[in-house]
Structure 1
């Protein structure tokens, strides 16, 4: 959640004018505020405590039921001074700091609140690996610390954060989740494609602002236009320009996934089926059904195709059919950049015609 909020906040600051011109800035700010409110509540009990998970994930995964019907234990997990977790704490700090920039000229009191929490949420060093209950992919916390420091510097202007990031940028472990990659792994690969396209588009803007025409990689020069074109190809691929002619965004285009791996989408609404759907009933009746989901989760981007560019629309295939907030969050930045680019090109074409 923190990473998603941070990406959305980055898009809101990087492409504010473009998003505002598309009449979506208020909606984007509302989405960010929803997430930051959640993070604030997770940190409000004590500056030394951050709640990191709600629910027993092992028990939850044994059930396929609607949120309204959930009766599994709402177990709370937290990090404290005695059981630290730098990874989620630093990521939360980055999200709160980035969001504080978004609201600086909109709601100054809320912006200041976010920044204050951001400064205090990550006090104790220690890997989350030892206390993480579930979803514990681990690559060290150095990347989160750099990420958090950079956003804290941008939000506060405090050079201590900039010095920290500058002095530690040479860490031997590469943060390769933000590489310019096209295919990283079979499971939910579009999370890497969306984040890569967002980063490349931001980077091309930086090069343009610095009046640098591209970057040299070995004997090859990648111009800013080539970088943008590659990033755009990722967006186009996701929206249907691919071998399957499949839009991987639900509800977009004429052909898109109909069996999203998502409980709320795959189970009938309480308005159409008011009776409780039990833990096992959801699996036996709806999870294994070959019928399309009764609810269309418009806008959700799924994990995407496999390594052979093939895609089977089956909700049991969670690696390729499950949507995530961080896939969509990165996609927002890419689309916002391309909207701006499209408008600039239209202006140039109009001037050329004149």
Structure 2
């Protein structure tokens, strides 16, 4: 089914929104009920994993990690050559041919998180083949992140630049745009990027430890070294890499430092990583600051949710006996509950509202923000149910089942349960985006017609075309509607940019796999702390 033409709003730039709210107490709970059982979450999960294959850069033919899609070929084989390093591989960002470090590392962290906590549910949803595909998607990302860390205090931040890339519409196999690589180091710091990469590698360590301990050990070693680098040389990566500022400007780095510290604590169990949060609490503000979004630029809600899960599950005695440290850890956990309240309806702490159709709306192209919120909500609902807890939103009791219902409703909305009756995931359902703002998907496959597509030729023939993409980029999640549920599903050219039809990997890919691996598992905690099937 082709989608008709709809209106879109002007693209908004990424920026964080900060709210300082009150810590909440943990109190008793009821069991979680399954909702939305008619949605094929397992099928959506398989498509979300497949999406990553369409984003691959590097050598695909004969690669150790196989590819299953036919419309992509080798690309970016000279990446890093001019700088004397091997930066082949990794993933392109969204619909561009740029490899952007900060959103790319965030996507890897979220993908790893889904495998760390829910590998058995991925397996249950699609069997060993689907679990292997998810691990392959993460391995492709982790291998590249290891390549970018070329010295203790050196990390390659980006390959390509948005100026030349934005002027050309070429498939990756033909690209003639700049492939200059940019790095951070001791004199050009990037605490946010280094810490996010550390978080990604620490989470990947946990994901691969059960199946490849040697590889996992390498990941952890780099993660620990990168965290030291991030902390020792403070600064925003987008101040050191001007081209990064054009598309992915960082608003700060303390959230990434906290995020990395929590992941390293989880990976190692070492108390010193929690003590890092304690020492840096005045700057981080993790015990008193609640952000309304979880995104490539804002990780504090993720760090708070991780610690909330740890607190609800029970911390080691060595941590519990340290009262000042527990004050910080429980403060983080309390802010995770405030995050819940900020998103739940009908309570005094509500700060995030929904579109007329029910999608949580923060700003701009909202799909990634709704997905990441959904992931944290269902994650916390599960932990609260297992601990027989509810959340007190200043006198309004919120149960795990209510939290889960809101989280699932966001996924259902993006999969087609919305006023437009459109799935925002390509290839899912009978009506989905046909014209995603994606170079490789919108141009006839190199394997079908290897004739080079020039910069301007691509602009004229493909970018401006209103025809359906010749390649169906299964699993891509379009940027999404605006606050009024206005959306453009036909044209790749949108006022202010292609963000509403752009399948942002750092935006939605990792979050999509993470939330679907949780929601689609078909198992819920019961009132007595056990589990039951849907």
- Judge same fold: TM > 0.5, yes or no: yes
Q: 1:131 and 1:194, CA in 2 relative to 1: closer, same or farther beyond 3 A?
A: same
Q: In 2, are the aligned partners of 1:204 and 1:228 still within 8 Å (CA)?
A: yes
Per-residue deviation at 1:330?
A: 0.9
Choose from 86, 90, 104 the match for 2:209.
Answer: 104
Distance in 1 (alpha carbons) for counterparts of 2:471 and 2:270: 47
Q: In 1, are the aligned partners of 2:425 and 2:477 still within 8 Å (CA)?
A: yes
2:372 is aligned with 1:195? yes
Distance in 1 (alpha carbons) for counterparts of 2:206 and 2:171: 36
2:520 aligned partner: 339
2:268 aligned partner: 156
1:243 aligned partner: 419
Distance in 2 (alpha carbons) for counterparts of 1:15 and 1:200: 15
| Helix, strand or coil at the partner of 1:51 | strand
Distance in 2 (alpha carbons) for counterparts of 1:344 and 1:222: 16
1:170 aligned partner: 285
Deviates more, 1:220-229 or 1:333-342: 333-342
1:69 aligned partner: 174
Q: In 2, are the aligned partners of 1:15 and 1:337 still within 8 Å (CA)?
A: yes
1:117 aligned partner: 222
Distance in 1 (alpha carbons) for counterparts of 2:431 and 2:189: 46
Deviations 1:188-209, CA, capped at 9 Å, x for gaps = 2101001000011111121122
2:160 aligned partner: 55
1:299 aligned partner: 475
Choose from 89, 98, 106 the match for 1:3.
Answer: 106
Q: 1:57 and 1:197, CA in 2 relative to 1: closer, same or farther beyond 3 A?
A: same
Structure with greater helix percent: 1
1:146 aligned partner: 258
Per-residue deviation at 1:6?
A: 0.5
TM value normalised by structure 1? 0.93
Q: 1:348 and 1:89, CA in 2 relative to 1: closer, same or farther beyond 3 A?
A: closer
Distance in 1 (alpha carbons) for counterparts of 2:248 and 2:120: 37
CA RMSD of aligned residues (A): 1.9
Deviates more, 1:6-15 or 1:22-31: 22-31
2:362 aligned partner: 184
Per-residue deviation at 1:343?
A: 7.6
| Helix, strand or coil at the partner of 2:397 | strand
Choose from 71, 76, 79 the match for 2:184.
Answer: 79
| Helix, strand or coil at the partner of 2:188 | coil
Distance in 2 (alpha carbons) for counterparts of 1:111 and 1:196: 29
Which consecutive unaligned segments of at least 5 residues does structure 2 have? Answer: 1-103, 295-338, 344-351, 353-359
Choose from 135, 141, 145 the match for 1:29.
Answer: 135
Choose from 140, 151, 164 the match for 1:46.
Answer: 151
| Helix, strand or coil at the partner of 1:138 | coil
2:384 aligned partner: 207
Per-residue deviation at 1:174?
A: 4.2
Per-residue deviation at 1:348?
A: 5.5
2:503 is aligned with 1:323? yes
Deviations 1:202-243, CA, capped at 9 Å, x for gaps = 11121122221x201123211000000000000100000001
Which consecutive unaligned segments of at least 5 residues does structure 1 have? Answer: none
Q: In 2, are the aligned partners of 1:198 and 1:334 still within 8 Å (CA)?
A: yes
Q: In 1, are the aligned partners of 2:434 and 2:468 still within 8 Å (CA)?
A: yes
Distance in 2 (alpha carbons) for counterparts of 1:115 and 1:49: 17
Distance in 1 (alpha carbons) for counterparts of 2:408 and 2:434: 25
Deviates more, 1:88-97 or 1:310-319: 310-319
TM value normalised by structure 2? 0.62
Q: In 2, are the aligned partners of 1:244 and 1:311 still within 8 Å (CA)?
A: no
| Helix, strand or coil at the partner of 1:334 | helix
Per-residue deviation at 1:155?
A: 0.7
Q: 1:197 and 1:278, CA in 2 relative to 1: closer, same or farther beyond 3 A?
A: same
Per-residue deviation at 1:270?
A: 1.7
Q: In 1, are the aligned partners of 2:415 and 2:428 still within 8 Å (CA)?
A: yes
Per-residue deviation at 1:136?
A: 3.5
Deviations 1:239-279, CA, capped at 9 Å, x for gaps = 00001000000011110000000000111112332211100
Per-residue deviation at 1:137?
A: 2.4
Deviations 1:282-306, CA, capped at 9 Å, x for gaps = 1111111111111110111010112
